[in-house]
Amino acid sequence: MNQVVCFGEVLWDLFPDGKKLGGAPLNVALRMNSWGIKSQIISCVGNDILGEELLASVKSKGIDPKYIQINKSFDTGTVGVCLNEEGSATYKIAHPVGWDKMELISTYEKLVSSSKVFIFGSLIARDQVSKNCLLSLLNKSNYSVFDINLRAPFYSISDIELLMKRADFIKFNNEELHEICIALGCNEKSIENKIEFISSKTGTHTICVTLGKEGAILYRKAIYYRQNGYHAKVVDTVGAGDSFLGTLITNLLRENGIKESLNKACATGALVTQTKGANPIISEEMLVDFMERSDHSN
């Protein structure tokens, strides 16, 4: 059985000084692959130079791009990245592009049904074509992880609620959790009450919320696990949450324990913020050294 398949956007993040490979599902797949978890990506690029470069870049990083379609009518995805003085990013996402138009094929169904984990995000549901493909593949999934990335104006609360109900595991950041709870009629103040509201509303019993420099909290079968954050000299925040998720799922698959898994995930996310772009090289040795040297307390 394959380990993990990620579904969604592949694109170029356009920084003022050049482009870097990106797209949340691809970032997750690349991070997991770097940790030794065999990962695949289902997506689509345009029949253009940027698409050719993207496919070559994905292959050079150790993932076979054979599940990435080529669309002759729509361009390869790009995202303009703007960073503030603290390194926090805002995005200008091109639309429509190749990954909005993924068609369902039997090869995808076979891949998902033969994989342990199926990871997808919310942005891919902005177009009905790719949304339909996603909903069909969720019927084949053995274990579904929903990575919520609210990118206005490309989402609806009704779609978010639908997809949460199809997931076994949901990952938010704190701002996303708050926004979705308010939209669904929950005015609870504490993060625990918000999580329990989402769990009750969706029937999903594993929920993770990232808290930026404050770390993360994971709720699993009515038990809470908390992990403090790591101090980082932030260059940019692009892809930090994706590497957090990829590292968390990697360690959970290896049955390393929830506290250890959360600890490594928080450290990896912090490390990513110290380098420009979503996919810096991070070795196990670098991670351990960072964890040992960092200003951090459990």
Q: What is the DSSP string of 193-209?
A: HHHHHHHHHH---EEEE
pLDDT 10s digits, 216-237: 999 999 999 999 999 999 998 8
- The mean of the pLDDT values for the chain is 95
Which of 94, 15, 95, 99 minimizes the C-alpha distance to 51?
99
How far is Cα 245 from Cα 117, in angstroms, rounded to an integer?
Answer: 13
- The model carries a pTM of 0.95
pLDDT 10s digits, 109-164: 999 999 999 999 999 999 999 999 999 999 999 999 999 999 999 999 999 999 99
Report in angstroms the alpha-carbon separations of 270 from 1, 266, 276, 289: 32, 6, 12, 13
For 2-293, the fitting CATH number among 3.40.190.10, 3.40.190.80, 3.40.630.30, 3.40.1190.20 is: 3.40.1190.20
Backbone angles phi, psi at 192, to 5 degrees: -65, -45
Does residue 7 contact residue 42 with C-beta atoms inside 8 Å?
yes
Long-range Cβ pairs for the range 178-184 (8 Å, 24+) = 179/150, 180/148, 180/150, 183/157, 184/157
- Residue 14 corresponds to which tokens in the numbers above? 């356009």
Q: How much is the pLDDT for 1? A: 60
For the chain, the first-to-last Cα distance in angstroms comes to 36
Pairing relation of β-strands 89-93 and 115-121? unpaired
HSE toward the beta carbon, residue 9, CA cutoff 13 A: 30
Does residue 129 contact residue 100 with C-beta atoms inside 8 Å?
yes
pLDDT 10s digits, 105-119: 999 999 999 999 999
Which of 240, 258, 261 minimizes the C-alpha distance to 250?
261
The owner of tokens 């050079």 is 60
Pairing relation of β-strands 18-22 and 11-15? antiparallel
Does residue 185 contact residue 160 with C-beta atoms inside 8 Å?
no
- Where are the strands (E) in the chain, listed by range? 2-7, 11-15, 18-22, 39-46, 68-71, 77-83, 89-93, 115-121, 144-147, 169-173, 206-210, 216-220, 223-227
**pLDDT beyond 50 at 59:** yes
